Chain A
Amino acid sequence: MSKQYLSCGSAGNAHPTDIYGLAVTDKFCLSASGSSSLKVHTTVDPDFPLVQSLDGAHKLGCHHVVTNAKGSRAASIGFGGEIAIWSCHDGVWAKDSTAPANQTGSAGIWAIALSEDGQYLAGVSQDGHVKVWDLNASGEEIRDYETKGSFGTCIDLSADGRFLASGHENGSIYIFSTETGRMPFSLSGLVKPVRAVAFSPGGKFLAAAGDSKVIVLYDTSSGEQVANLSGHTAWIMSLSWSNTGEYLLSGSFDGKVKVWSIDARACVATHSETEKSIWSVRWLPKVGRSEGFATTGASRSISFYREATGG
């Protein structure tokens, strides 16, 4: 089985430097790069035009930008370690004054994630702490989980908000229950640095990948490894689940982008339009029956793909 995705446009030279972070809502695609502005492109218009530039967002550049499911709130973290919270009103993004991030980001946070409703911000720090802040309560820190101190490279929150997963430089992967504050089980982890973790939309699986070039699927009810997806030949930098959870998208340092069928446990599409490293991949909201995704990285452009239909 294979699937075909066609290039359906791109935002060329969206940033003057490498683009590291991508976040997608039902209408917008937010991107973060080694320059100080965040860029907002619309995904509704087939030409994906730039609609807003959030200038001066992060002085030294920004490496992660995330949004909640509704697309009402976003969070970004800069290379200087500062976290900014954004909200969207009537299609315009602005600094979120109701969610001061004054207490957040003080602890060497590297990667961040937002809960579905946008109320909770989670972050993993360079010294391996996993923290949660309540943005509706002045950014108060409500959780602080300690791990073994390895650099936290990636984090994700499950859609129902019950679980938090973090990936670390030493290959460790942790799952925490946000209700009990405990680890329901320990995961076997990877041998090399983990670069991406992602819960499936239904929360059944956790996918993890990184320098070992393999994507590992864990069953979140048992913590067991249920599949190894191999095929990438370079470090895997980013993962994203399709809206239905049928497909997993991955991007690697050699510029390759792959689509994996979860049922078949196999790669169903490979894109190698660039040799420049892919830093981030994200599925786009479904339009009709057709699914699509966006990829970005050292090419400094954002590329958009749609599933070939009606064949």
Chain B
Amino acid sequence: MSSIPQTEYPLNTASPSPTEEQNHSRVKDYITNTLSNLLTELCSPDGHPSITVKPRSTKVSTRFINPQTGALETHVSEACTTYTWPGKDCYEAWRFTVAMRVLSGIADAVDKGVVVSKSRDIYYNDPAIFGSQRIVDRLVDDFAHTVGVDRTALNVGAAAKGLVVGCFQWRIQDPAMVDDAHFFNPDTLVPRPQDIQGLEVSDIEWVLILEKEAVYRRLAGMNYHVRSMAGLGILVTGKGYPDLNTRAFIRRLYDESRRRQASKRIRFYALVDGDPDGMGIMSTYKYGSLAYAHENSALNCPDIQWLGLRTSDIVAGVDPSGNDALLSLTERDRKKILAMLSNNPVWAVDGPEQEARAELLQMLMLNVKAEMQILYDGDGGLVRWLDRRMTHFP
């Protein structure tokens, strides 16, 4: 479709995978074509400059769990949105301008081969015109979807957010320090998936995914990944809802696990709050998110087991912490649970997470939730609780 020479490949990373290279040229093609079309139209007296995107998941007709991949996926009726200049009114003119500014921000990042941190960098170029970072965010996603790549290929990566520590080694290509390849025992931010060059995880038996950074710090501080009764492992937190990098890393570990013998697989555990967000976070790792439905099958980790926190454990007094530590649901919590039950097939009546569904309904019935801090004060604290749970689960 285009004759743009592909020799000007400026990425000074070591040796990008073929798909990454292909993605890169697709991105360059798309940007060059779109921008040159814009120029042509602008130069002609009765030209109509326009930008067309395929917004991701606009009209979702059905959401379902793909039985092959175990990922949350959607059937989307593909619709296109076209931004034109000058448009019918002020609003359309603004929409076009914003789309063009975002596209040129992406073009800039791709040209220079630098990763702009999230959409924030683009947004702060001209906050007045964009209005909010969300608008930039959505457009970046839409452009990625239009080209058919994930957003890291547009060099608009999210700022690293997840944290990881554990008994493993890797080599990281740091995009900020081009020719410096690290090899170390990490306690570090989870990098972009394409920057992980070598990963050696043969020693580990488990991966513990934590919702809360505070819990992660506590466990990492006492070297739980080494000292656990369940063997050597890896601690990961996405600090709440995980970003794509953290999900991609968990998926990478899952892919490593699947290469092992059935009996030697890595065990994946999630420890989240006993509240709707905790359940939502666990589901994001295990099945994916509604927002990135088109990427879920490459990011989900179906092996995740739900370690806790279950409100029923607290209420029934199985945990020694007692039940004075329970909190009432807020109105937002109750609304969120209802939305989860009605919109997401993960928790449907015939869905794959019956235990989680029962837990959500029970939260509504009892109007209670339980936060992780409860475990700090229990008999032997968090570590003893974890040891018991993780050795108990097969």
Contact surface of A with B, Cβ cutoff 8 Å: 16-18, 20, 34-36, 59-61, 63, 79-80, 126, 151, 153, 169, 193, 211, 234-235, 253-254, 277, 279, 298
Contact = CB atoms under 8 A, between A and B. Distances in A.
Nearest to B331: A126
Contacts of B361: 17-18, 20, 34, 61, 79
Contacts of B341: 60-61, 79
A193 B365 CA distance: 12
B365 A234 contact: no
Interface string B312-328: 10011100000100001
Nearest to A300: B358
B349 A16 contact: yes
Contacts of B331: 126
Contact of A36 (B315, B349, B358, B365): B349
Among A34, A35, A36, A298, find the residue whose CB has the most chain B CB atoms closer than 10 A.
A34
Contact of A153 (B317, B334, B354, B367): B367
A20 B365 contact: yes
Contact of A254 (B316, B334, B338, B365): B316
B11 interface: no
A235 B323 CA distance: 10
27 contacts: A16-B349, A17-B349, A17-B354, A18-B361, A18-B362, A20-B361, A20-B365, A34-B357, A34-B361, A59-B342, A60-B338, A60-B341, A63-B364, A79-B361, A80-B338, A126-B334, A151-B328, A151-B367, A153-B367, A193-B367, A234-B316, A234-B317, A235-B315, A235-B323, A253-B316, A277-B316, A279-B365
B349 A35 contact: yes
Query: At the interface, is chain A mostly helix, strand, loop or mixed?
Result: loop
A292 B341 CA distance: 36
Interface string B164-180: 00000000000000000
A295 to B, nearest CB: 16
A128 B191 CA distance: 49
Given A17-B354, A277-B312, 9 more contacts: A16-B349, A18-B362, A20-B365, A34-B357, A34-B361, A79-B361, A169-B367, A211-B323, A234-B317
Interface string B293-319: 000000000000000000010011100
B364 A253 contact: no
Nearest to B342: A60
A175 B289 CA distance: 47
Contact of A63 (B316, B323, B328, B365): B365
A34 B328 CA distance: 21
Contacts of B317: 234, 254
Interface in B320-356: 323, 328, 331, 334, 338, 341-342, 349, 354
Listed from nearest, the 5 A-B pairs whose CB atoms lie closest are A34-B361, A35-B349, A60-B341, A18-B358, A151-B367
Nearest to B329: A151
B323 A17 contact: no
Contact of B358 (A17, A79, A211, A254): A17
A13 to B, nearest CB: 13
A128 B380 CA distance: 40
Nearest to A60: B341
Contacts of A59: 342
A126 to B, nearest CB: 8
Contacts of A126: 331, 334
A167 to B, nearest CB: 12
B331 to A, nearest CB: 8
Contacts of A16: 349, 354
A18 B312 CA distance: 13
A17 B342 contact: no
B312 A17 contact: no
A16 B358 CA distance: 10
A20 B363 CA distance: 13
A281 B342 CA distance: 29
B366 to A, nearest CB: 8
A292 to B, nearest CB: 26
Given A151-B328, A211-B323, A253-B316, A34 B349 contact: yes
A242 to B, nearest CB: 26
Contacts of A20: 361, 365
Contacts of B334: 126
A4 B317 CA distance: 29
Contacts of B315: 234-235, 253
Among A79, A253, A254, A277, chain B packs the most CB atoms within 10 A around the CB of A79
A61 B357 CA distance: 11
Contacts of B362: 18
Contacts of A254: 316-317
Nearest to A279: B365
Contacts of B328: 151, 169
A234 B338 CA distance: 27
Interface centre among B317, B323, B341, B361 (most CB of A within 10 A): B361
Nearest to A37: B349
B300 to A, nearest CB: 25
B360 to A, nearest CB: 9
Nearest to A170: B328
A63 B367 CA distance: 13
Contacts of B354: 16-17
A17 B357 CA distance: 9
Contacts of A60: 338, 341-342
A277 B358 CA distance: 12
A277 to B, nearest CB: 7
Contact of B364 (A79, A211, A277): A79
Contacts of B338: 60, 79-80
B165 to A, nearest CB: 38
Contacts of A234: 315-317
A17 to B, nearest CB: 6
A254 B358 CA distance: 16
A18 B361 CA distance: 9
A34 to B, nearest CB: 5
Nearest to A35: B349
Contacts of A34: 349, 357-358, 361
B41 to A, nearest CB: 49
Contacts of A36: 349
